Amino acid sequence: MSFTLAIVGRPNVGKSTLFNKLVGRKMALVHDTPGVTRDRFEADAVLGNLAFRVIDTAGFEDDTPESLAGRMTAQTMTAIADADACLFVIDARAGLTTGDRIIAAALRKAGKPVVLAANKCESRAGDAGYNEAYALGFGEPVAVSAEHSLGLGALEEALAEHIPRIVHPDEDEEDADAAELPLLGDGFGDEELAADRVIRLAIVGRPNVGKSSLFNRLLGEERTLTGPEAGITRDTIAAPWHAGGRDFLLHDTAGLRRKARVAGHALEEMSVGSTLEAIRFADCVIVMLDATQAFEKQDLTIADLIAREGRAVVFIANKWDLIENRAGAVGDLRDRLDKSLPQIVGAPLVGISALTGEGLDRIVPAVLAADAAWNKRVGTSALNRFLENALDRHAPPSVSGRRVRVRYMTQVKARPPTFALFGNQLNSLPEDYVRYLTNGLREAFDLKGTPLRFLMRSSKNPFVAD
């Protein structure tokens, strides 16, 4: 089990900047606004010869437990309890504050090893605060500047007293280990790898539809903040999840607002960017809906974005416990989904209540079905039998007096399923005919819950000069 280090401190002292330096990439949002980080953010980190798990935490504030700041502090206390040691960060330019002393008292009470880092020491402006840090009683502080990557060597030495260094085996040991590894193809075929892979699953939707509540329900713990306030989640939070015999990497994301509400607000734009990145790297995306206000314009915009990115899609209607005529509501939602989003017609639709836990057992089968369709490969012979029948039932129309001819088709890739059509004048094939082929493929080969793509490969006309 890896060593876990929690980064704690007041808001806006540079915890997330230091977190990003340790993990080697910009994972946590960083902005001048205090309190950007609200949830626990975990990732693997390497510092010199040290490898460990690091947790970025919300700013530690003394407030009532019911308030947003109080709930953020509770998340930080959970991170401290889960960690093997704590990295206490102060702002050297601001000097020692009452808030720093409150955090120091909480860390002493927790009884975990503490390394004290005085951040923003890139100039003499931090000298006084660095010297004041001795009064906290955690020994000699480490002078660092996370923004300018200064003092990381000294930080490594301080952390090495608590974190085991990486042991590098000699070449003989490496050769011996390599000899024990199976050769490519020795029992590791594509099908077996596909069955064992971790499914990256992102939960997206409008603000305040219950994404974080579902995230916590699935994990079985209060992993992220929830509450009546809209837009609590700002960062994309990832956590491993095992269900239905499969491993998932589950992502809770910030709510996607309309462009007009986001434009000009740097922090909002960063949150949206984090969500869009989660969508791009996901295998399957859960689109969270409010069952009482489902498939509003923003819901459709989000779903269309996911389809254009080529991700598998599952729709989850939350707050299902508030619906009275549920039997009729299912049919109504299904009709609205298929009519409004023909590009992903037939995508799984599940009604749940994140508050009561109703319907949660139907989520994993829906995700696995969508993921299977997203990864499906169809043989060329089966595709061309389908194409022959489709052309017999409904031939392509003529364009400018010439009939469009579709000769054959093949699948060129999966994730999402992409098909190449070969023939003449295929770029003139009407959109409704492509939709006819798309819907036929979905029904014939169970490709629901994933967008389908077509590549048109028209033969060159020998009578047209280059």
pLDDT digits (tens, 9 = 90+) for 158-169: 999 998 887 655
Confidence of residue 272 (pLDDT cuts 50, 70, 90): confident
* Nearest-angstrom CA–CA distance, 379 and 168: 47
Provide the pLDDT for residue 28: 58
**Main-chain dihedrals φ then ψ at residue 82, nearest 5 degrees:** -80, -15
Residues 6+ apart with CB under 8 A from 339: none
Choice between 201 and 223, residue whose per-residue pLDDT is larger: 201
Choice between 458 and 28, residue whose per-residue pLDDT is larger: 458
Confidence of residue 181 (pLDDT cuts 50, 70, 90): very low
* Nearest-angstrom CA–CA distance, 404 and 315: 37
**Mean per-residue pLDDT over the chain, rounded:** 84
DSSP label at residue 396: P
Provide the pLDDT for residue 164: 82
| Contact by Cβ (8 Å): 101, 136 | yes
> 341 is written with which tokens?
């989003």
Provide the pLDDT for residue 226: 64
pLDDT digits (tens, 9 = 90+) for 206-216: 988 999 899 99
* Nearest-angstrom CA–CA distance, 157 and 154: 5
Helix axes 68-82, 98-110, angle to 10 degrees: 40
What's the one-letter identity of residue 120? K
**Main-chain dihedrals φ then ψ at residue 456, nearest 5 degrees:** -95, 120
What percent of the chain lies above the pLDDT cut of 70? 82
Provide the pLDDT for residue 238: 84
* Nearest-angstrom CA–CA distance, 213 and 252: 10
pLDDT at residue 275 is higher than 90: no
DSSP label at residue 126: G
pLDDT at residue 446 is higher than 90: yes
Considering only 93-102, 191-200, 206-215, 366-375, which range has the smallest mean pLDDT? 191-200
pLDDT digits (tens, 9 = 90+) for 296-312: 999 999 999 999 999 99
| Contact by Cβ (8 Å): 52, 45 | yes
Residues 6+ apart with CB under 8 A from 321: 353, 355, 356, 358
The structural domains of the chain, ordered by start, are 4-159 (3.40.50.300), 190-375 (3.40.50.300), 380-458 (3.30.300.20)
Coil, strand or helix at 399: strand
DSSP string, 142-159: EE-BTTTTBSHHHHHHHH
